[in-house]
Structure 1
Amino acid sequence: MPIITLTTDFGLKDHFVGTIKGTIHKELRDAVIVDISHQVNPFHIQECAYLLKNAYKAFPEGTIHIVGVDSERTPETTHLAVKVDGHYFVTADNGVISLIVEEVRPEKVVEISLPGTVQDAFPVLSVFVPAACHLARGGTPEVIGKPFGKLRHYKEFAPRVTNDGDTIVGSVIYIDNYGNVVTNIQRSLFDAYRKGRSFTLEARNQKLTAIHDRYSGFINFDLDRAQRRGPGDLLALFNSSGYVELAIYKSNLNTVGGAATLLGLDYRDTVFINFQ
């Protein structure tokens, strides 16, 4: 049976996530349900897309992804089942698909229309779960909806290259659980313009001249502990998804804070890479 994943902004305090899982198991007793995240900031489509974009490819083709962020149906936003890159996404037409799979054309898109469904305040339960269970049983999208031709397109800010290739201007796209700041500057873009040159990464009043491959990469372990950099120090690295990230080594948001708070950076704030 295909895996069903859940990505929502419901949090874990309330009953919503448990109710969704219980209803799926009532329909499909042996269903495999995987939580991607329930801590998406409320209605934050871009944050939801970042998490799903970097997670869905880890699952086998045929996986069904329920996207429970900004999911209410309105005259301007319908409910969709989208097959793209071998995966199914059950979601509202709120632009999230265009952010998850920017370079892949959907194989199939249907507007969900389930007989007898009442539009209520919990569409993830009343609409998305039955649709996902139908697909998990091997049902086709055409049975639960009609073809839908025009997905809402939402284009995230892309980094800009200026000064004849000497400067990359990027933006903050995500802040993780540790307060680490993820930018939209990907390693491939950085490598394409670096051309062996030295550089300075600037964020607020901080400047860094190295980008590492892991969090501990900035530590010189040949030095005595008292002399080397370590916990509480700022670094830049290419994270596991290939984006430039700013981090405080072994940060703790409950004590010293993370890179976002210490640098005063938030979503869409600007960072620069200047090549010399």
Structure 2
Amino acid sequence: MAIITLTTDFGVKDHFVGALKGTIYRELEDVRIVDISHDVSPFNIQECAYILENSYNSFPEGTIHIVGVDSEPTPENQHIAVLVDGHYFITANNGVIGLITSAKNPEKVVHLNIPNPTHGSFPVMDVFVQVACHIARGGTLEVVGRPFNELKELRDFTPTVVDNGNRIIGNVIYIDNYGNVVTNIHKNFFEAYRKGRSFELSARSTKVHHIHNKYSDIINFELDKGQRKGAGDLLALFNSANYIELAIYKSDLKTVGGASTLLGLDYRDTITVSFT
């Protein structure tokens, strides 16, 4: 049975997600549809890429991923389908695939060219669903598109290294449901330049000198409870995707706030790591 995932910035208030699923089921009775997220911030390509990068490979190879973020076609935002790492992605050439495939070479990329396309305001349903159903039936990419080699890359989201390798300048790329702040500094990138040195991570006026591997590492269970760090305290860690993340332990963004609100950090804000 084919699996089709949906990742969009549509939210769940409007009819869009339901219409997508209904159209797929009308075309394919024997299919599984999985919602990865419909709460991507509107037109936020980096956020979309982060969510997809850290979810798609949990699915079996052959899964078809419909990406409905910034999907309206223009001469600079072509509709494409990509086979990479054994997975199919149907999206616009807006940079999201370039971010996902930065460490992997796509096996196939095609510029979509389906017959008699509908040129409306809902291309995810009018075009992407048609292509997804074609693939789910066993169809090939060559039938729905022609070879394409102009994948858009968003290089401004890559950390930069300055001061002869002594400083990394990164950015906030994602804020999760808890208000935790995810940076674009991957553990491998960090360790490659750290080389065993001490460091200071700076985010606005906040300074951090240690990065944990899990949230509860902030607690020293050998101390009495009144002397421990715990709920409400700041920590940095390598998250499940191995990116540096700033978090408030056991935070609640809707009540006491999270790292994003308490530190005053937002998407694309600067995070600096200095080695000594």
Partner of 1:56: 56
TM-score (norm 2): 0.95
Q: Does 1:267 align with 2:267?
A: yes
Deviation at 1:2, TM superposition (A): 2.7
Which stretch of the first structure deviates more once superposed, 192-201 or 42-51? 192-201
Distance 1:224 1:58 in 2: 40
Question: Which residue matches 2:146?
Answer: 146
In the aligned structure 2, how far is the partner of 1:132 from the partner of 1:223? 55
Partner of 1:234: 234
SS of equivalent residue, structure 2 residue 24: helix
Q: CA deviation at 1:213?
A: 0.4
Decide whether the 8 Å contact of 2:2 with 2:30 is kept in 1.
no
Letter of the 1:144 partner, please give it. Answer: V
Name the TM-score, length of structure 1 as normaliser: 0.95
Counting only pairs closer than 5 Å after superposition, residues 159-198 of structure 1 correspond to structure 2 as 159-198=159-198
Aligned ranges 1:130-141 → 2 under 5 Å: 130-141=130-141
1:178 to partner: Cα distance: 0.9
The CA deviation at 1:172 is 1.1
- Residue number in structure 2 paired with 1:45: 45
Look up the equivalent residue of 1:99 and give its one-letter code: L
Aligned partners of 1:98 and 1:155 also within 8 Å: no
Q: Contact 2:182 / 2:244 at 8 angstroms: preserved in 1?
A: yes
AA partner of residue 149 (structure 1)? N
CA RMSD of aligned residues (A): 1.5
Q: Give the Å deviation of 1:123.
A: 0.7
The 5 A counterparts of 1:87-126 are 87-126=87-126
- 1:210 Cα offset (Å): 1.0
Query: Match of 1:80?
Result: 80
Task: State the number of aligned residues.
Answer: 276
Deviating more after overlay: 152-161 vs 4-13:
152-161
Shift of 1:246: 0.1
Q: Report the alpha carbon displacement of residue 159 of structure 1 after superposing the two structures with TM.
A: 1.7
Counterpart in the other structure of 1:201:
201
Q: Partners in 2 of 1:156 and 1:97 — Cα distance? A: 15
The residue type equivalent to 1:214 in the other structure is K
- Distance 1:142-1:18 versus aligned 2 partners, 3 A rule: same
Equivalent residue, structure 2, for 1:27: 27
Identical-pair percentage = 65
Deviation at 1:170, TM superposition (A): 1.6
1:171–1:184 contact (8 Å) kept in structure 2: yes
Q: How far off its partner does 1:51 sit?
A: 0.9
Pair 56,156 (structure 1): closer, same or farther in 2 beyond 3 Å: farther
SS at match of 2:226: coil
User: Could you report, residue by residue, the CA deviation over 1:203-258 in whole angstroms, capped at 9, with x for unpaired residues?
Assistant: 11111111000011111112222221111111000001111000011111111111
Of 106-115 and 117-126, deviating more is: 106-115
User: CA deviation digits over 1:170-220, x for unaligned, max 9?
Assistant: 211111111111111111122223333322211111111110000111111
Aligned-residue offset at 1:161:
2.5
Which piece of structure 1 moves more, 163-172 or 224-233? 163-172
Letter of the aligned partner of 1:65 in structure 2?
H
Q: Match of 1:49, SS?
A: helix
Residue 66 (structure 1) aligns with: 66
State the alpha-carbon separation in 1 of the partners of residues 100 and 58 from structure 2: 14
Q: Alpha-carbon deviation of 1:29?
A: 1.2
Find the residue that maps to 1:20 and give its secondary structure.
helix
Per-residue deviation at 1:67? 0.4
- Residue 128 (structure 1) shift: 0.5
- Corresponding residue for 1:223? 223
Q: CA deviation at 1:65?
A: 0.6
The answer on 1:10 being equivalent to 2:10 is yes
Deviation at 1:158, TM superposition (A): 1.9
What's the offset of the Cα at 1:117? 2.3
Name the amino acid aligned to 2:225: R
Answer with 191-200 or 92-101: which moved more: 191-200
Could you tell me which amino acid in structure 2 is paired with residue 257 of structure 1?
G
CA deviation after TM superposition for structure 1 residue 61, in Å:
1.5
Would the aligned equivalents of 1:95 and 1:153 in 2 still touch at CA under 8 Å?
yes
> Is the 8 Å Cα contact of residues 171 and 268 (structure 2) preserved in structure 1?
yes
Label 1:130 to 1:264 Cα distance change in 2 as closer, same or farther (>3 A). same
d(CA) in 1 for partners of 2:205 and 2:141? 52
